[in-house]
Structure 1
Amino acid sequence: MQRANKWALLPFVAFIVLFIGIGIISGDFTAMPLNVAVLIACMIAFLMNRQEKLATKVEIFTKGAGNSNVMLMVVIFVLAGAFSSVAKGMGAVDSTVNLGLDFVPPSLLLVGLFIIGCFISVSMGTSMGTVVALAPIGVGIAESTDIPMALAMATVVGGAMFGDNLSIISDTTIAAVRTQGTNMRDKFKVNFFIVLPAAILTCVILYWLTAGSSADAVEVAKYSFVEVLPYLIVLIVALAGLNVMLVLVIGIVLSGIIGFMNGSYTFLTFIKAVSDGVIGMEDIALIAILISGLVALIEHHGGLAYLLEVVSKRVKKKKGAELGIASLVSVVDIATVNNTIAILMAGPLAKTIADKYEVDPRKSASLLDIFASFWQGLLPYSPQLLAAASIAGISTVGMWQVYSIYPLLMGVMAIIAILMGYPALKNKKKTSHK
């Protein structure tokens, strides 16, 4: 790493200003495509340091973009997209929702909605997919009871963020694990112990808020337990330590077999579902490659050294380093409103800080994912809140001001975990990159 140079951060600053500026001017924070914003930032990075040959910059960029960690991340993104698409296409999402609703008593409708959201998001690995699947159910519950619509929608978002943060096929988990040099299973365990109290407290609060609510019967559609099996098996074998790529292949094949059995798929429609899932991940895969190349250039020009110098002035111990990592990813997520992008951008510096102050990579990966998800479930202009509010026909502000229970508790528990040094982690001689 070269000597500290604050001007090397200009491409990153331009990316943030461009994204926020167009969002403010247009009133739509999705108006500026992230891939275009990253491309512009890359161009600015190439134009800097004119004394250096363009060929040298290209070599640095391509080495950063194409390193083994990034390529493995891309492959996992693609397989995760294929599994999610194939499982959804054969009815796994609908069966999971209806199976959960069938076992939820009327007095626990909102608690059940949150738990179902947690399971679906852990299974699917996508908060947006969970919101889209569950928001109509939440609307139905609110309309058939005296539960506020904003509370029902915030509950859907909370359940969605639980799995987005934890799922082994979530793009945020993949990014956090790869940038910190740990594995899925170990990160899941550390992360789970931090957020579990938040999930339990959320259930208690939701029950307390809705205990006296009058409820009509919520109609439950047909479901098949067999269609839920791919989610369960993928989760079990992943936690058992099987290589994540093999886990996802098993999920794709099993979902396909069930789809053939229940008539959801022919060979051609199965192939189409796999293709749709791969295509759905192409954008985030390309952005991951571009950001990795961009970070390599910024690091070469001294930008990461400058950030590390600034952070180091305020950090003296491990707890300070962990708070620094949390703050770093928080700032990026508030600016980009995309937790995966925030982790990809903050990850390399977080790794440097973690190594310098001996923060366990399992903990640094968990903190990156938790704080990115915390803000993603809280910001009134995040895609998750906007999607839920749009389906329900309400404003995101009502959800944000009063009812964002789980995201808030998740952030609080993560801060407590930092201050208390929880969970206590034993040193590992060698970390497996699965």
Structure 2
Amino acid sequence: MTENGTEKRLELYGGVWGGLVPLVVLVGGLIWLSVEEMGGTKPFWACGWMAIVAGLFFAKDKHEYCRAAMRGIGDKTGIVIITAWLFAGVFGKLMVSGGLVKGLLWLGMMTGAQGAVFVLIVFVAAGLFALGTGTSTGTCIALSPVLFPAGYYLGADPALLATAILSGAAFGDNLAPISDTTIVSAYTQGATMRDVVRSRFPLAMVAGAIACTIFLLFGGGGTIKPLPELQAQMDPSGAFMLIALLVVVASALSGRHIIESLIYGNITAAVIGVLNGNMALSAIFSIPAKRGVSTGLIQDGISGVVGAIIFALLILAVTQILVESGIMNRILKFAEKFIINTVRQAELSIIGVTILASIPISANAPAELLVGPSLVKPIGEKFNLAPARRANLMDCAVCTIFFILPWHIVVAAWYAAIVASAESFGITAPPISAALYNPYSWALLAVILFSAITGWNRKYADKQTAQTNGFEG
């Protein structure tokens, strides 16, 4: 702000076109890598770096341009997101090491379920794993090698069996309080984790119920064959790791900070993993035999999120430059003038802009970082939408189309795991186009569109606005 109270704008040569240079370089690089199936948080680093460098040469005040980039990196929202990621990454590693995969397989196999019922169990198991670890990609990689062949030999339809794993990953990614998309959507909108999880629950569960119905109706039809090899991969003690997930969820819903909740969850997961014999204390932390070797699961968990953290910092820097140059404000004014006139249109715009951002980019949390602070938040605030409502619309939107397109990281990882497991057991894998039928993602898209159009589950920042507007939009 200047001394007379007016907003000081970062000026660039070329006006709007000069200001668009960082955005074009960033998005262009992300799309290029994604289409070439080389996307990922670490490959994306170069795109963010080049976007900042390119924009510098269009800035009239280079010193202020650099300060704007640093203000973005030091944004308090980004600090919360990064800290949460650090503890969520360790939590996921502890859950896997504690035997969660073997425990979920045991739960599924011991029911005696076959055909369509087992496909439903696979969806639920994948959802629980994603809820417990906060990673959709990790869910597909960890569960596909055991659940796909198990379901194949228990009479499941191969295509729906495979998509049940992908759907469960999307469900968990959508709802988990430790998911990167949940963390980003909540804290870019200034929402508490308790409000976000509570208000998102009905949306996710309705979509989940629709997906369950589809799996039950069409998930069978295969031939049942014995597969004793999978018995060795079952371990009932691993199911106790779900207690750590309950600790995190209960703590977050009670109003405690997500960092505090994750610390309680980490401790619980470590204790249960040691008690059930699936991990030793030395696996969590120990002095390595030589320099360069990991000190244990804590280091591994942090290492696993470093790529996302650095890319998030670069995204925040580019976004701050776009905001201070006035580009995002111009986009908003255009949208408000010609597109957004009611709360219904505002919500549909939030859904649309998030989906559009997620289509070319092969990772969904960066898509939220790109549009959350700069577009979604000001659109929602103008119509007094509650922070949790804005976060839920954005998070649900980024878990729809994103989970069906083959150039996205999670779909590519899912299909690679399916193919590898099929080859290991000498069975046939469905084509990658099976992802296009992902029941949960399509159901979730229908649910959030219904919610935005009818006003169901809509919450305002204050009660007076809610009483004035009702559900009319």
State the TM-score, normalized to the length of structure 2: 0.84
Q: Is the 8 Å Cα contact of residues 381 and 396 (structure 1) preserved in structure 2?
A: no
Name whichever of 134-143 and 238-247 sits farther off. 134-143
Match of 1:5 in 2: 16
* Amino acid paired to 2:433: G
- Which of the numbers 320, 328, 345 marks the counterpart of 1:320? 345
* Amino acid paired to 1:15: L
Structure with higher RCO (Cα < 8 A, 6+ apart): 1
- Rounded to whole Å, the distance in 2 between the matches of 1:27 and 1:263 is 39
- Which of the numbers 376, 382, 395 marks the counterpart of 1:369? 395
- Rounded to whole Å, the distance in 1 between the matches of 2:462 and 2:224 is 51
- Which of the numbers 394, 408, 426 marks the counterpart of 1:382? 408
- Rounded to whole Å, the distance in 2 between the matches of 1:258 and 1:22 is 41
Superposed counterparts of 1:125-164, under 5 Å: 125-164=134-173
- Which of the numbers 256, 281, 300 marks the counterpart of 1:276? 300
Q: Is the 8 Å Cα contact of residues 104 and 112 (structure 1) preserved in structure 2?
A: no
Q: Is the 8 Å Cα contact of residues 230 and 254 (structure 1) preserved in structure 2?
A: yes
Sort the Cα spacing of 1:425 and 1:357 in 2 relative to 1 into closer, same or farther, 3 A: closer
* Structure that is richer in helix per residue: 1
Measure how far apart 1:212 and its partner are.
5.1
- Which of the numbers 116, 123, 130 marks the counterpart of 1:114? 123
Measure how far apart 1:367 and its partner are.
1.1
* Amino acid paired to 1:259: G
Q: Is the 8 Å Cα contact of residues 23 and 31 (structure 1) preserved in structure 2?
A: no
Sort the Cα spacing of 1:317 and 1:201 in 2 relative to 1 into closer, same or farther, 3 A: same
Match of 1:411 in 2: 445
Sort the Cα spacing of 1:420 and 1:189 in 2 relative to 1 into closer, same or farther, 3 A: same
Match of 2:312 in 1: 288
Match of 1:96 in 2: 104
Measure how far apart 1:114 and its partner are.
0.6
Give aligned-pair identity as a percent.
22
Name whichever of 72-81 and 227-236 sits farther off. 227-236
Match of 1:309 in 2: 333
1:299 aligns with 2:312: no
1:17 aligns with 2:28: yes
Measure how far apart 1:395 and its partner are.
6.3
Q: Is the 8 Å Cα contact of residues 134 and 180 (structure 2) preserved in structure 1?
A: yes
* Amino acid paired to 1:421: G
Match of 2:84 in 1: 76
* Cα RMSD, aligned residues only: 2.3
Report SS of the residue matched to 2:359. Answer: helix
Q: Is the 8 Å Cα contact of residues 68 and 321 (structure 2) preserved in structure 1?
A: yes
* Amino acid paired to 1:386: A
- Rounded to whole Å, the distance in 2 between the matches of 1:392 and 1:266 is 31
1:85 aligns with 2:110: no
Sort the Cα spacing of 1:375 and 1:6 in 2 relative to 1 into closer, same or farther, 3 A: farther
- Rounded to whole Å, the distance in 1 between the matches of 2:74 and 2:100 is 35
* Amino acid paired to 1:73: I
- Rounded to whole Å, the distance in 1 between the matches of 2:68 and 2:325 is 11
Sort the Cα spacing of 1:292 and 1:22 in 2 relative to 1 into closer, same or farther, 3 A: closer
Sort the Cα spacing of 1:141 and 1:260 in 2 relative to 1 into closer, same or farther, 3 A: closer
Match of 1:398 in 2: 433
Q: How many residues align?
A: 425
Structure 2 unpaired stretches of 5+: 1-6, 286-295, 420-428, 464-473
Measure how far apart 1:91 and its partner are.
1.7
Match of 1:67 in 2: 75
Report SS of the residue matched to 1:122. Answer: helix
Match of 2:46 in 1: 36
Name whichever of 1-10 and 383-392 sits farther off. 1-10
Alignment deviations for residues 377-398 of structure 1 (CA, whole Å, 9 cap, x no partner): 1112222222222222246543
Sort the Cα spacing of 1:177 and 1:27 in 2 relative to 1 into closer, same or farther, 3 A: closer
Measure how far apart 1:424 and its partner are.
4.1
Q: Is the 8 Å Cα contact of residues 141 and 152 (structure 1) preserved in structure 2?
A: no
Report SS of the residue matched to 2:351. Answer: helix
Measure how far apart 1:334 and its partner are.
0.6
1:105 aligns with 2:113: yes
Name whichever of 54-63 and 344-353 sits farther off. 54-63
* Amino acid paired to 2:128: F
Report SS of the residue matched to 2:457. Answer: coil
Q: Is the 8 Å Cα contact of residues 380 and 396 (structure 1) preserved in structure 2?
A: no
Measure how far apart 1:73 and its partner are.
1.2
Sort the Cα spacing of 1:411 and 1:223 in 2 relative to 1 into closer, same or farther, 3 A: same
- Rounded to whole Å, the distance in 2 between the matches of 1:113 and 1:360 is 35
Superposed counterparts of 1:416-427, under 5 Å: 416-425=450-459, 427=461
- Rounded to whole Å, the distance in 1 between the matches of 2:44 and 2:149 is 34
- Rounded to whole Å, the distance in 1 between the matches of 2:280 and 2:157 is 43
Q: Is the 8 Å Cα contact of residues 389 and 458 (structure 2) preserved in structure 1?
A: no
Measure how far apart 1:410 and its partner are.
0.7
Measure how far apart 1:428 and its partner are.
5.2
* Amino acid paired to 1:237: S
- Rounded to whole Å, the distance in 2 between the matches of 1:384 and 1:27 is 11
Match of 1:190 in 2: 199
Match of 1:223 in 2: 236
Measure how far apart 1:211 and its partner are.
4.9
Measure how far apart 1:204 and its partner are.
1.0
